A and B are shown apart, each in its own frame.
Chain A
Amino acid sequence: MHQWTAYFLLLTAPAAAQVSYQDIQKGPAQDWLTYAGSYGAWRYSPLKQITVNNARNLTAQWVYHVPNARGLRASPIVYKGVMYVTNTNSIYALDARTGRLIWQWLDTRANKQGVNRGAAILGDRVFFTSTDNYLNALDRQTGVLLFSRKFADADSGITSTSAPLIAGNKVIVGSAGGDSGMRGFLAALSPETGDEIWRTYTVPAKGEPGSESWSGLIEWGGGATWLSGAFDPSTDTLYWTTGNPWPDFAGQPRQGDNLYTCSLIAVDLATGKMKWHFQFTPHDTHDWDAQSWPVLIDTEWEGKPRKLVVHANRNGFFYVLDRVSGQFLHATQLIDKVTWAKGIDANGRPIAVPGQDPTPEGNWVCPSVKGATNWMGQSYNPITGLLYVLTLEQCGLYTSSSKTPEPMKNFAGGGATEEGGQVILRAIDPKTGKRAWEYPMTGLGRMWTGTVSTAGGVVFTGDDDGHMLALNAKTGAHLWHFNMGELLTASPITYEAGGKQYVAIASASAIFSFGLFEPAEPMIPPKVIFTK
């Protein structure tokens, strides 16, 4: 076989197609290039092979069992017929038409284990993070490792779970670990080397502006950024939500608003400077991270065009803000049962009901610790003009602990349990917060699946019984369902390969891909010759 060596005397750099920043900016078409589909975080696709009329003909096209997966959180990305999915410290490249594995890479050196929500792609590189805060860059076609660079110290309570976001020529990574004490941040890294370009903390250092909102524990304040954010290329601004203050359920040692936890922050892409912030839940004591990505919509507001950012929050309210100034415009109740606040005042601050904090014997508060919605978040369809939000009508018992808070010891300052509850998918008008339709579910009351909607007029989501669903985006009418046999904990995407539209979603342990039924074509197999 020595002729092989001869062929390589000219080392050719693969001159293949590259994903450009502009490609991501265009939003999904055949490909699905970023976690939330587009920079506006719409999770909307212009594909329309699958429509309201034919969705009932959907069938499973393939299944890929991710080795050893137990609770996949990843939303796949797809480029040129290849799908990239992640699990704990691992990434898999699959043939998006057949589900066959092309390559895999496991970070056997990682010394922490945690969930992973997905990959990012730029140029000929795919990126994902290991739990112990390494950014890994791999060649998209062959899985060859290009670099594995540390961006944060796992010994300071920080782990990494979110899909990186590509913006300009930067890889934006977040931070997790806010339930055990850590200092949240957002960082921009170089896609070529993994070098840090800037880092912006979500909790100020002692003495910095905002630090006066902490009576104590500011060093471990939390404000994790454990989900990908949104981005406005016209102003080069990142929009990111932040997690709970720590200890989650004990407010006494950290009196004050606890900036910038449970907030939305607008960050300048070039410098990392915070342009503005808006805090949804000042001094949170119920673990209501502001997670789920914000959605960017340009629309008419009181007669004038306006750039908005909307957000369905875990605390039970739905918010509309001006995304240029950060000005609060409007809030409505997202779910029916909210007991901790009477509403949101003209400045966007909750009108708190006294006596809602966790107590030693337990305090019954709505929504529950899982929140009115959670990280699976929302999707927006520009044709129907509706926002699709999975909501949970549930209350829970919040207990406090008087133990001295110890960071990085799994101490949350108390705990919470919940009972019963119902998951309801709601289509809401983002301008008014009014509900257009509802799709109630009757399963276990656990909701961890997001939505994707299409120009074909279909919303894809999962229910709390392990079914994949297709609904009419305009009316919420049921079109199709498929029993995946496991609790779903990830959000669907849609893509096209070989002229066919697919919808893919991770179950707890596998990736499923669906498409319209087509009778099998007769196949003439090739002549196969084995040579010595």
Chain B
Amino acid sequence: MPLLEVERVSKAFGGVRAVSDVSVSLEEGELLGIMGPNGSGKTTLFNCIAGALSPDEGRIRLDGHDITGLSPHRICALGIARTFQLVRPFGGLAALDNVLVGRLFGRRRHDGGAHVEAERLLALVGLEGRAAVPAAQLTLIDRKRLDLARALATGPRLLLLDEFLAGLNPAETETAMALIRRLLAGGTTILMIEHIVWALADLSRRLVVLSAGEKIAEGPPAAVAADPAVVDVYLGTPRAGRGRA
């Protein structure tokens, strides 16, 4: 049974069909990449999975259990954690406290050692020594790392990364990709939105491409890259509403 099943999900805002009849499924331990031009519905799909939005149609199942429309904190406790495309750390709280929130609230069972574990996660993402710094004072990159540490602190089975690599320089991208590989090796399943095609191709065996809310391609990176529909979306004549050519 797949860990995550998104079945024919649709979500509209007023007249805009942001996500339209999209199905995606993810096996335990897999990394699935999602790509697509700006405004193609990637973040909206994430919001539906994480419970920040409730889909208009379709079902979402985690481990076979229907989680459609549950509130975000319940979905988090069931094992789905996320980072935000525009980072959203708790600015007034120390870095360590940010991670402690995830650790103390994001799991169904409580065990001791929250502090130690939070420190370990800060070190894992490269924020050792910054535990006492208010999140608002961290650099953008560090705030991204903090977002990830907080998500990991909830002990997720499935991690949703929304353009985690955007804005990183080449060295930082390498470090981040190494970290993602470590998480995968540790058994975390990852669903990852990314514009950086080579990174996605490198990390995943399977890609999904969205365009104007619809799934237009799915498969191994090489096959997807050669798919005429994808080529058309990325290289073809730019149509209204498509930012990235």
- B is bound to A: no
